[in-house]
Chain A
Amino acid sequence: MNALVVVPTTTWYLMLSAVLFTIGTVGVLVRRNPLVMFMCIELMLNAVNLTFVTLGRRLNDINGQAIVFFVLVVAAAEVVVGLGIIVAIMRRRSGITVDDLAELKG
């Protein structure tokens, strides 16, 4: 391979996943629609998955990918339960934002 060709290093991938995680965090903090907040949580999970795969490749270790497999399954379960809760709440009171859900506040 030509020595002048720039190959993306591990650091590039890690920086990309850091940026993605930050965008997801800011999205959770800024948006008020519960569905969009869920999507931002998915962004954060994907950033972590990218980190796992990158470091698994760097260390020549398949465990990084095995962990990502479990993260995918848990993310699927989390989305199913979370959307079930949102459906159950929204059926009573439609057009709600997360700021309106303050019944449990002491």
Chain B
Amino acid sequence: MELFVFVCATAMIIVGALGVVLRKHPVHAALSLVLTLFGIAVLFVAQHAEFLAAVQVIVYAGAIVVLFLFVIMLLGVDQVENLKTEPLAGQRWVAGVVGVSLLGLLAAAIYTGADSVLSRGEGIASNVAGDNPDANIQQLATSIFSDYVVAFEVTSILLVVAVVGTVLLSRRRTAGKP
């Protein structure tokens, strides 16, 4: 069963990711990104991270991609990009070499190092086997609001700074003021 879920989600993720890179139209790329994000959410559920799957769908698919689509529509940059011409000579070739070597490096690291990662940290243990989804949320909440409460507060400051900065950045300048 998990194999079936994994194969389906993998197909969604890979097709969506290739769609982001290869589709000419930015709107199509954004919709392919939604496919990838849903695939990741499916894999989160398969790995008993139910809360993160919900947050993934709400924040990524619901907020971030919608923001992308808003900006695409707002700026009218939804013209088809010509993927045939290469702006910099040899760029595709170098990118292919970089991609293949990066993939080889990561695969080598995974095959040699994945089994050596065995020591647990000092965090709260998650007994994922046969747990109900509520336990995941409770463990995550206990971890965030006890071990990482300072980081959580700093994160809220970061969000406020980001919102204020964006409002300042994208504000239309009036004629009199600089």
Q: Which residues of A contact B (CB under 8 A)?
A: 5-8, 10-16, 18-27, 29-33, 35-36, 38-40, 42-43, 46, 49-50, 53-63, 65-66, 68-70, 72-81, 83-88, 90-91, 94-95, 97, 99
Contacts and interface: CB of A to CB of B under 8 A. Distances in A.
B30 A39 contact: yes
A60 B64 CA distance: 30
Given A53-B44, A57-B47, A62-B123, A5 B3 contact: yes
26 contacts: A14-B114, A16-B10, A20-B13, A21-B106, A23-B17, A25-B98, A31-B81, A33-B81, A35-B71, A35-B72, A36-B26, A43-B20, A46-B37, A59-B120, A60-B120, A60-B125, A61-B124, A62-B143, A66-B140, A75-B60, A81-B165, A81-B166, A81-B169, A83-B68, A86-B71, A94-B77
A57 B44 CA distance: 10
A13 B10 CA distance: 9
Interface residues of B, number: 86
B89 interface: no
B67 A79 contact: yes
A61 B123 contact: yes
